[in-house]
């Protein structure tokens, strides 16, 4: 696994020379209403109990002047998501216990199962972007021959890619719970929808304070 991942990163670096500069790359991202998909722990694939999978449809406007994968790499890197690679998506269920991941479709189409063997099927095409919280199972079921995917990761994580039966379940869940939330949305930066979708849950005391403030505002 580590060797394959290393090769993906090397290929990405060698090929990533035909992209726009970062300020222009950012202008190639267009607003997309996020789809939020919550996935439950199925006993084998932990998924993420707090953070939803986030899907941006048709989020990237590709310019013929630039290499498509390079556009995604520059957009992601411009928002702090690095260590990028270019490849497809593995055809077996796997997940990451110590990092979040973004997948951008540069070319082609794919049907991907997220969440484990009984998880959610999503059809993805060029221009779509999916942000996977740590623990999210994913597996390619079918794809066009020209499928090309760019993956990247926020800082503060550590890469691994176990299959469901390759890790100790409780240890994996503890690791997933410790992964820090990213500082920026990989597509839209500091103002992106991801930050609201992945906002920390309020404690019981905090919810009580919010309700009290709303009640006070309603009577003024």
Q: What is the pLDDT of residues 7-44, one digit of tens each?
A: 555 444 444 445 555 545 668 999 999 999 999 999 99
Instruction: Say whether pLDDT at 75 is over 50.
Output: yes
Residues in the chain: 220
Mean pLDDT, rounded, of the chain: 88
Q: How far apart are CA 161 and CA 181, in angstroms?
A: 19
**SS3 label, residue 159:** coil
Q: What is the pLDDT of residue 203?
A: 52
- Residue 112: CB partners within 8 Å, gap ≥ 6? 89, 121, 122, 124, 130, 138, 139, 140, 141
Helix (H) or strand (E) holding 56: strand 53-56
Contact 113, 164 (CB under 8 A): no
Between the two ends of the chain, the Cα-to-Cα distance in Å is 61
- Residue 103: CB partners within 8 Å, gap ≥ 6? 89, 129, 130, 131, 132, 138, 149, 150, 151
Q: What is the pLDDT of residue 11?
A: 46
Q: How many alpha carbons fall within 13 Å on the CB side of residue 215?
A: 6
Instruction: Say whether pLDDT at 116 is over 60.
Output: yes
Region 170-174: mean pLDDT is 97
Closest CA relative to residue 94, chosen from 179, 39, 162, 142? 162
β-strand pairing of 101-107 with 129-132? antiparallel
CATH 2.60.120.10 describes domain 2-218: yes
């Amino acid at each position: 696994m580590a060797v394959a991942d290393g090769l993906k990163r090397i290929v990405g670096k060698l090929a990533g020379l035909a992209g726009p500069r970062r300020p222009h790359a950012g202008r190639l991202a267009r607003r997309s209403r996020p789809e939020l998909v919550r996935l439950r722990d199925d006993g084998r694939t932990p998924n993420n109990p707090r953070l939803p999978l986030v899907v941006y449809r048709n989020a990237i406007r590709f310019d013929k002047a630039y290499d498509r994968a390079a556009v995604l790499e520059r957009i992601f890197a411009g928002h702090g998501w690095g260590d990028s690679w270019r490849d497809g998506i593995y055809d077996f269920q796997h997940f990451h216990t110590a990092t979040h991941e973004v997948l951008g479709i540069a070319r082609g189409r794919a049907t991907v199962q997220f969440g484990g063997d009984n998880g959610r099927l999503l059809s993805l095409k060029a221009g779509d972007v999916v942000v996977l919280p740590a623990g999210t199972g994913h597996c390619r079921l079918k794809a066009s021959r020209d499928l090309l995917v760019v993956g990247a990761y926020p800082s503060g994580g550590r890469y691994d890619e176990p299959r469901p039966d390759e890790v100790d379940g409780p240890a994996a869940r503890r690791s997933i719970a410790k992964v820090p939330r990213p500082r920026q949305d990989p597509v839209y930066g500091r103002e992106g929808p991801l930050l609201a979708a992945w906002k920390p849950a309020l404690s019981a005391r905090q919810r009580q304070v919010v309700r009290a403030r709303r009640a006070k505002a309603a009577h003024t």
